Amino acid sequence: MQEKLIKVHPSDNVAVALIDLNAGEEVTFEGSTIKVISNVKAKHKIALSNFNTNDRIIMYGVLVGKSNQPIALGEVLTTENVTHQSEKVYKKTGDIGWSVPEVDKWKDRTFMGYHREDGQVGTENVWLFFPLVFCENRNIEKLKEVFEKELLQQQVSQQQLLLRALVNGEEGDEANLQNANSNRVFDNIEVKFITHAGGCGGIRQDSESLARLLAGYVNNPNVAGATVLSLGCQNLQIQIFKDALEAINPNNKKPVQIFEQQQMGTVDDMLSTIIKESFAGIKEANNIKRQPAPLSKLKVGLECGGSDGFSGISANPTLGYTSDMLVALGGTAILAEFPELCGVEQELVNRCIEEESANKFLQLMQAFEKSVVDAGSGFDMNPSPGNIKDGLITDAMKSAGAAKKGGTSPIVDVLDYGEYIHKAGLNLLCTPGNDVESTTALVGSGANLVLFTTGLGTPTGNPIAPIVKVSSNTELATKMPDIIDVDTGGVIRGEKSIAEMADEMLEYIVAVASGEVKTKAQLLNQNDFIPWKRGVSL
């Protein structure tokens, strides 16, 4: 029989409902009988004691809120009776020991990746087109149309075939879609395209930040080469981009073709030149083949979006254990979304190996929070309507579960937005909690694959890195099988342990990294890219 309640940490004074509970129902929990006062939906929290006004609410062993009115034993926690509250942290107070997971069976495992001259190894082989300024978006879109139609031949979609059949008075045929998309010119290179709304206007710091992000994409091991379009007069000058790339990797050997429209005459002449030179580069990049690489070459971003009340119990801890396994194997994990680390700062600070990293983390968190407050908001506004509906009613509650993605390993470095990963192990990266902005930043900092947990469902993908979508519950995986790659709902039902689920996760990662499996986001051709305009987004 499935349990009805779960307490995540021994010191918690609330429990999570694993199934819907009805008012008046009696539940046996930890040797006591709790009478349910009000209807409690699965994923929501129930009081394990009587709370007075302003009492501390503890979950995951940390402060996640306070009661703003009396809450009875057995009553559901809501946004009406609970407000956000978290502990304040000022300095590193000690070290947290790490129990290294057992990884002997993985030590000799490899994945089939693309080896780059600088020692990085990619899970994909991508030729990337992007503009330095939004004025070139139309030219990027034109190139996308030409290359996808003539080179990749991926233009015909199921929806196009359906409409074509309806126009012709026929029924759609899925086999036609498979045939229409099977004639690729090159089979060992992907061609991807990025557009954005930056590069000019705003403040100069925005353009400099964008330059670092784009340079990170070029340096990412999944990229074989790039075609870059510039107008000429914009804030993000070509030299600024080149300087950003050199700062990340002074010995970059990848082909980077840069074209400036104001120096090239007509659009037709410019596009013709770009197509000729890019085709030559793409043809050469197609000769790069997958070769075995140790798992230590994996750089995995850790992300969550559309979280629910089960995310911090099943999917996120699974990622945390997987992250610890990768770190134990010499690999790299990157935990981002600083607004969703609110309330767990002390643990993270104490896990920092270097005092300098601990101080940098606190400074970045404080500066981020101040910028949000100055804009008239606050971290307490972070939970989305979907989060709240599914049980995440305060930012600290959401954060305590989100932080589980980072496991328990020591933190080797703390990076600001746009900085590139240079140390193996667990890294913290300053990003907003916005799904696409954060995922965009993780890949720009070097992640060659991203694990993305969700309880509600999101189709988010990335132009150059596989995004593995991990559901916190089986209902979501069943309802949206076209976007979910891995289901951790077995943990909620008590059928699998976190360690067993992480073992399955690592197997799936190896398959994706080797090109044996395409993620659902890749199959949907979901290529999201949104730079962060600092201080504007939570």
Written as one letter, the residue type at 261 is Q
CB burial of 20-43 (b: ≥16 within 10 Å; e: otherwise) equals ebeeeeebeeeeeebebbeebebb
Q: SS3 for 85?
A: coil
Tokens of 472: 């916190």
Average pLDDT, the chain: 91
Boundaries of domain holding 63: 5-83
Mean pLDDT, residues 288-313: 96
Same domain, 321 and 467: yes
Asked whether residue 186 is domain-assigned, the answer is yes
Residue 307 pLDDT more than 80? yes
Share of the chain above pLDDT 70, in %: 93
Output the CA–CA distances (angstroms, integers) from residue 210 to 204, 206, 214, 216, in the order listed.
10, 6, 6, 10
Q: Of the given ranges (35-39, 102-106, 362-366, 532-536), which has the lowest mean pLDDT? A: 532-536
Same domain, 74 and 134: no
Q: Which helix (H) or strand (E) holds 294?
A: strand 291-294
**Could you read off the pLDDT of 498-527 as tens digits, one per residue?**
999 999 999 999 999 999 999 999 999 999
Same domain, 470 and 332: yes
Count of domains in the chain? 3
Predicted pLDDT at 382: 73
Mean pLDDT, residues 409-415: 98
Asked whether residue 94 is domain-assigned, the answer is no
- CATH number of the domain that 188 lies in? 3.40.470
Beta-bridge mates of residue 402 = none
Higher pLDDT, 222 or 96: 222
Higher pLDDT, 120 or 3: 120
Rank 32-46, 153-167, 387-401 by mean pLDDT and report only the highest: 32-46
Asked whether residue 536 is domain-assigned, the answer is no
Across the beta sheet with 449-454, the strand order is 411-415, 425-429, 332-335, 299-304, 449-454, 467-471, 486-487
Out of 246, 272, 289, a domain closes at 289
Predicted pLDDT at 178: 45
Predicted pLDDT at 156: 55
Those residues with Cβ within 8 angstroms of residue 311's Cβ, 6 or more apart along the chain or in another chain: 304, 392, 401, 402, 453, 454, 455, 472
Same domain, 474 and 333: yes
d(CA 506, CA 513): 10
Written as one letter, the residue type at 352 is C
Residue 11 pLDDT more than 60? yes
Predicted pLDDT at 537: 62
Strands 32-35 and 467-471, bridge-based pairing: unpaired
User: What's the pLDDT band for 533 if we cut at 50, 70, 90?
Assistant: confident
Same domain, 307 and 453: yes
Those residues with Cβ within 8 angstroms of residue 414's Cβ, 6 or more apart along the chain or in another chain: 352, 357, 358, 360, 361, 364, 427, 428, 430
User: What's the pLDDT band for 493 if we cut at 50, 70, 90?
Assistant: very high
Predicted pLDDT at 358: 95
Out of 226, 260, 289, a domain closes at 289
User: What's the pLDDT band for 92 if we cut at 50, 70, 90?
Assistant: confident
Residue 538 pLDDT more than 70? no
Which string of DSSP letters, residue by residue, matches 144-161?
HHHHIIIII-----HHHH
Higher pLDDT, 384 or 449: 449
Asked whether residue 133 is domain-assigned, the answer is yes
**Using CA of residue 411, residue 413, residue 417, residue 422, what is the dihedral sign?**
negative
Nearest of 279, 294, 299 to residue 225 by alpha carbon: 279
Q: SS3 for 101?
A: coil
Same domain, 309 and 183: no
Residue 286 pLDDT more than 50? yes
Out of 461, 477, 492, a domain closes at 492
Nearest of 536, 510, 531, 528 to residue 192 by alpha carbon: 528
Residue 239: CB atoms within 10 Å? 9
**Could you read off the pLDDT of 223-247 as tens digits, one per residue?**
999 999 999 999 999 999 999 999 9
Same domain, 280 and 317: no
Asked whether residue 504 is domain-assigned, the answer is no
Same domain, 272 and 343: no
Same domain, 17 and 166: no
**Could you read off the pLDDT of 149-186 as tens digits, one per residue?**
876 655 556 666 666 666 677 654 444 544 444 467 88
Mean pLDDT, residues 128-153: 90
Higher pLDDT, 88 or 315: 315
Same domain, 304 and 162: no
Same domain, 64 and 180: no
Tokens of 112: 């089939």
Name the pTM for this structure.
Answer: 0.91
- Max Cα separation, the chain? 80
Q: Which helix (H) or strand (E) holds 285?
A: helix 267-285
Higher pLDDT, 145 or 424: 424
User: What's the pLDDT band for 380 if we cut at 50, 70, 90?
Assistant: low
Same domain, 346 and 277: no
